[in-house]
Chain A
Amino acid sequence: MRRVSVTGRLFLVVMLLAFAFPFLPLLVASFSFRWHWPALLPTQWLWDARETTPFPVGWDYLFSPISGLGPAFLNTVVIGVVTALLAVVLSLPAARVLARYTFRGKGVVEFFLLVPVIVPQIAVGMGMLLLFMRIGIARTYVGIILAHLVPAIPYAVRILTSVFQNLDPRYEEQARTLGSGWLSTFRRIVLPMVLPGVTTAFLFSFLISANIFLLTFLISGGRLQTLPTMLFSHIESGAPLDATTAGLVLIVSVPGLVFLMISDWLTGDHAALGRTSFGSRSKKERP
């Protein structure tokens, strides 16, 4: 492999700064109490102001019961876990069929299972709210979880299809010839072999759910807060470099950070995330 040129190295550094640097001012801001124009650093830090102010500020506020961060966090996790579980369970059989069989109309099915990703969520969300109001699940956990399934299933199907494409069907056939029924074949042969891929699909679906704003915002009607909807209202009402918003941004970034670390640790491969989306179909191993 050719080494990167000087211009290339400069480009990489600029990009690194563009992606990583913006987190820094928010980290600083989250520990500020006052940050007057035009100071480059907070004029008063959080720990200097604690005694003098009667109200909790910044991190103190976020971690106090009045902020509502606890319930929002819990909601995000619960909704995310259930969404991811459902998305994986619903997508697994479809992925297996898409990877193993060719049939008439397969292209249509594949397209249909991808299209929710490119159809405007605002259209789906508004129609869904009316539909859910009719059947009485608007503003409930069930409603939000169902809403989150719409973007989660396409990605789960995509990831799991490639998992099954890499699983040689002869393992199952061998198990069947050895007298294993379909259930025990699935449990003893298929499941252990697809587990890493299924874990990736679960984590990715969780991440999608944890990052959704608009669908939650529409379906919950403000009754249920998740981390993104909470961040939205803080950005809407807060000043730039506001300590609470800054702290919240860092907390909202946690699921993504954890996901990155786990996926790096699971795969040891920096390109893995790309293959989970709609990029290349297969990876050719290099000699």
Chain B
Amino acid sequence: MSRNFFRDRRVVIFLGLAPAVGTLLFLFVGPLLVALVQSLGHAPIYRVHRFPTLEFHRQVLFSTRFRIAAVVTLYYALVPTFLATLLGVALAVTFSRRVRGKRFLSFFFRLPLVVPYLVGAAMVVALFANGGLIARLLYAAGLIESTGQFPRILFSAGGWGIMLVYLFKQVPFTFIIVTAVLSGVGPEYEEAARTLGASRMQAFRFVLLPRIMPGVVTSSLLVFAFNFQSYEIPYLLGATFPATLPVEALRRFNVPDLTRRPEAMAYVVAITVISGIVLFAYLRLYRRWERSRGGVG
């Protein structure tokens, strides 16, 4: 092969992208296709030969269990997304000012980010279980007399335990992304607004917020995408019923009757599609809002 071949721009681009894109085609698109095809009734190893059929999807989508699970999953995902975005942005903006002990604070503000979600789960159990530390503190304060009087935060449909773990991990996540965006914006814009007579709130709303909005949208998008598909946290801290979509999916995946696997696959396809729709709608909404403000020049 001539040297010129490797100088060709298209060849350079193709060869450069090939390893990463190829790996992901095999490891990411492949499995998704397997899941999709099996959910459509093609699973010869389980002696399911009904491709293509929407029966498994219909079966899943029309069940009450699925609908309840979908509502619960959306709820557990959206509430922490909203709260984590609010708290994370507030934290980043507060932290961007002159603060004593910045390095020290920043270390702990990022700590939850670098540990597994399971660490958060263990903490929530230690603190909020009925025999946990908070219940003990309430007992010591004379507010409750037995573990039974402590409100059920874990393993209940309210999902407080699940959402607390998400918040523990995702406030720092939002914080770190917004902090990075803020450091690119610099304090001058807010200062300029102040010299023009804007109060602190006005400076935030009219100048800082529009500038950090892309970062806020990105982080909340990723947070929601994670929450919606998380398995281990709702499995460990949620109620047996209602369970979230991923928990229901894995339950069906693990039943001894392998011919029911396509049903599990229909579940994960549904999870992917719902999550995709929500994310897409969110982005569309943001774009429209951005355009309505005239767009960034």
Contact = CB atoms under 8 A, between A and B. Distances in A.
Interface string B213-233: 001001101100100110110
A245 B123 CA distance: 10
B177 A94 contact: no
Nearest to B17: A94
Contacts of B30: 127-128, 131
Interface in B90-132: 90-91, 94-99, 102-103, 105-127, 129, 131-132
B272 A126 contact: no
A216 B38 CA distance: 22
Contact of A120 (B24, B135, B271): B271
Contacts of B279: 118
A20 B108 contact: yes
A103 B229 CA distance: 34
B253 interface: yes
Given A101-B9, A252-B118, A122 B132 contact: no
Interface string A228-272: 100110011001110001101100110111011000100000110
A39 B136 contact: yes
Interface in B159-198: 168, 171-173, 176-181, 183-188, 190-191
Nearest to A249: B122
A275 interface: yes
B21 interface: yes
B202 to A, nearest CB: 15
Interface stretch (B50-58, B261-269, B285-293): B261-269
A192 interface: no
A34 to B, nearest CB: 13
A228 B178 CA distance: 28
Interface residues of A, number: 99
B218 A279 contact: yes
B249 A19 contact: no
A20 B111 contact: yes
A89 B18 CA distance: 12
A54 interface: no
Contacts, number: 314
Contacts of A217: 232
A213 interface: yes
Main secondary structure of the interface of B (DSSP, over half): helix
B6 to A, nearest CB: 8
B203 to A, nearest CB: 10
Contacts of B28: 115-116, 119, 124, 150
A70 interface: no
A18 B168 contact: yes
A120 B253 contact: no
B176 A109 contact: no
Given A126-B264, A270-B102, A256 B115 contact: yes
Contacts of B1: none
A240 B132 contact: yes
A45 B111 CA distance: 28
B281 interface: no
A96 B272 contact: no
A29 B131 CA distance: 13
A214 B292 CA distance: 41
List the 4 shortest-distance A-B pairs measured between CB atoms, nearest first. A274-B180, A127-B31, A256-B114, A120-B229
Interface of B: 9-10, 12-13, 15-21, 23-24, 27-28, 30-36, 38, 87, 90-91, 94-99, 102-103, 105-127, 129, 131-133, 135-137, 139-140, 147, 168, 171-173, 176-181, 183-188, 190-191, 215, 218-219, 221-222, 225, 228-229, 231-232, 236, 246, 249-250, 253, 264-265, 268-269, 271-272, 275-276, 279
Interface of A: 1-4, 8-9, 11-12, 15-16, 18-20, 22-23, 25-26, 29, 37-40, 89-91, 93-94, 96-98, 101, 103, 109, 112-113, 115-128, 130-131, 146-147, 149-150, 153, 157, 207, 210-214, 217, 227-228, 231-232, 235-236, 239-241, 245-246, 248-249, 252-253, 255-257, 259-260, 264, 270-271, 273-275, 277-284, 286
28 contacts: A12-B91, A18-B171, A19-B109, A20-B108, A23-B123, A25-B127, A25-B133, A26-B126, A37-B136, A38-B136, A97-B17, A117-B225, A122-B268, A126-B249, A128-B34, A131-B31, A150-B27, A153-B24, A157-B20, A211-B115, A228-B116, A235-B236, A240-B131, A270-B107, A274-B181, A275-B180, A277-B176, A279-B218
